[in-house]
Amino acid sequence: MIEIKNIYLKIEDKEIFKNFSVKISKNEHVCFSGHSGKGKSTLLKIIQGYVIPQNGIIQIDGKILNPENVKSLRNLMSYIPQNVNLPVENLYELINFIGAKNYEEKIFNILEILKINKKEATKPFDQLSGGEKQRIIIAFCLSLNKQIILMDEPTSGLDNESSNIIIELVKNLKNNTIVSVSHNPLWWQSCDKIIEL
């Protein structure tokens, strides 16, 4: 599903990846861990075509990532960043902004599983805690029905109880390829493979 072959990436005199390769099969959940600065989050950006290595190949769904197909390949993905300040006031505005009206019911269903009811979820974002916002973003992205889900530190800012709920939810996603980055040993339980960078 995702194959990174012999990439070389240098950013501002720092070699981030040197002949790095990894293969992620369809519907596999792979988590990258390791010390900061090792390029874990960068790897998620490489897969999305936001960071382009100086050398090497990125192959997604059998196609080599290039300027011509980057848009269609990104359409296979959903990206859950670690921290993002949304440009909208609440979940309804986010749904309208991204054009996800068709997924509204699914979003609220996932939010129920994540223990956030509709009333809570539609409050202005500035009245929600960091953990609640994180769960809303996760529910939103998971509902988009994308084949590949990229998650950057999905449990950061969450207590153990919330983390466990998300872990259980992700464990049950059998038809998605999930690439995550996490330091959290709890999260690793939801993964098929953990790769230390």
- Site residues, another protein (CB under 8 A): 45, 48-52, 67, 70-71, 74-75, 77-79, 81-87, 97-99, 140-141, 144, 150
Using a 10 angstrom Cβ sphere, with 0-12 exposed, 13-18 middle and 19 or more buried, the burial of residue 40 is: buried
Given a contact cutoff of 8 angstroms between Cβ atoms, the answer to whether 171 and 28 are in contact is: no
* Cβ 161 to another protein shortest distance, Å: 26
Six-digit token string for 100:
């996800």
- Nearer Cβ to another protein, position 4 or 77? 77
Report the distance separating Cα 174 and Cα 67, nearest Å: 30
CA proximity to 53, closest of 96, 85, 15: 15
* Cβ 134 to another protein shortest distance, Å: 13
- Nearer Cβ to another protein, position 66 or 117? 66
- Nearer Cβ to another protein, position 32 or 79? 79
Report the distance separating Cα 168 and Cα 172, nearest Å: 7
* Cβ 75 to another protein shortest distance, Å: 5
* Cβ 163 to another protein shortest distance, Å: 21
- Nearer Cβ to another protein, position 87 or 185? 87
